[in-house]
Structure 1
């Protein structure tokens, strides 16, 4: 499946190491869209994201402003949501590399990798921010009657991220 965003899109929002391989980074993007974004949307809407017109893509992915009850509101787009989910995955998994000698954590003489606790804190922080950004998109989708974004006929329910850490 094609990626909805790329490393350059993520770099516009958060800091990603310059030397990090684009191809390897795409794995985090694909995981974020499949495991984090897709469950938040109706499957038909999710699949339609891959074939949007340029105008619809601009509106849905880049965010912007909309009118509702005579007021102007600003909303974040799905590129922002995906970028933060991707970055959370990148922070947690990027220092871990598979080699012929097993799974290793890379070190250099000039730096020390962040420990697991620090990475977990950042992971959860960026996931929480992604969900907050999604709330902005969700309000836009509800208020502008964006068709098929949510499979439910009832109004959107508050989304709460729940997780269990297995150690």
Structure 2
């Protein structure tokens, strides 16, 4: 299993407890890659990306530059000459992972069934509070996913395996679910560079 992010990268975006074991975090990184990122990119592009990655998730030296840019981010000019600063896959993957971690961490599985965790130094959040927090993280992930989709539109000649799919954007699965990429005009051919258009579908 190739993990595209790790605990060090995660902590660049969110200040998580240092006592959280890296192996535990990997469980949720794997789910975010398989259940959020792969349907979003499409299976063909996702697997092609993985073939260009080292076991530690970094791009191989001989990986094509477009795939390095997709993974790590880049600064480029779009077709209108505008400078675009793209941060790569890490931010979206971090927040998809974080949403899944929060939702699961609220529950402790015992021999007699699942229970809400109790803490000596504080009261556990209520289910609605947990849900709101999960939705907030997923909203951030979707915002970063917009940037990934724009990068793919702007560089589609370099990613022949990527095809826009409404089905991928509306994918659903059991447990934590992605909303798909927010609807902005740049999500659609011919109008995806309308930067002044407001987000019309955003997860609250």
Q: 1:152–1:135: structure 2 CA closer, same or farther, 3 Å change rule?
A: closer
Is 1:141–1:149's contact at 8 Å kept on the other side of the alignment?
Answer: no
Correspondence for 1:37? 37
Of 102, 114, 132 in structure 1, the residue corresponding to residue 125 of structure 2 is: 114
Q: What is the 5 A alignment of 1:9-158?
A: 9-52=9-52, 53-54=60-61, 58-68=68-78, 69-145=80-156, 146-148=158-160, 150-152=162-164, 156-157=187-188
Q: How big is the shift at 1:47?
A: 0.5
Q: How big is the shift at 1:126?
A: 1.3
Is 2:28–2:100's contact at 8 Å kept on the other side of the alignment?
Answer: yes
Q: Which has the higher helix share?
A: 1
Is 2:106–2:130's contact at 8 Å kept on the other side of the alignment?
Answer: no
Q: 1:38–1:24: structure 2 CA closer, same or farther, 3 Å change rule?
A: same
Give the gaps of 5 or more residues in structure 1: 163-167
| Residues in 1 aligned to 2:154 and 2:70: alpha-carbon distance in whole angstroms | 14
| Residues in 2 aligned to 1:8 and 1:101: alpha-carbon distance in whole angstroms | 35
- Give the length in aligned residue pairs: 162
Is 2:44–2:162's contact at 8 Å kept on the other side of the alignment?
Answer: no
Q: How big is the shift at 1:138?
A: 1.3
Is 1:46–1:149's contact at 8 Å kept on the other side of the alignment?
Answer: no
Aligned residues: CA RMSD: 2.7
Is 1:98–1:104's contact at 8 Å kept on the other side of the alignment?
Answer: yes
| Residues in 2 aligned to 1:46 and 1:151: alpha-carbon distance in whole angstroms | 12
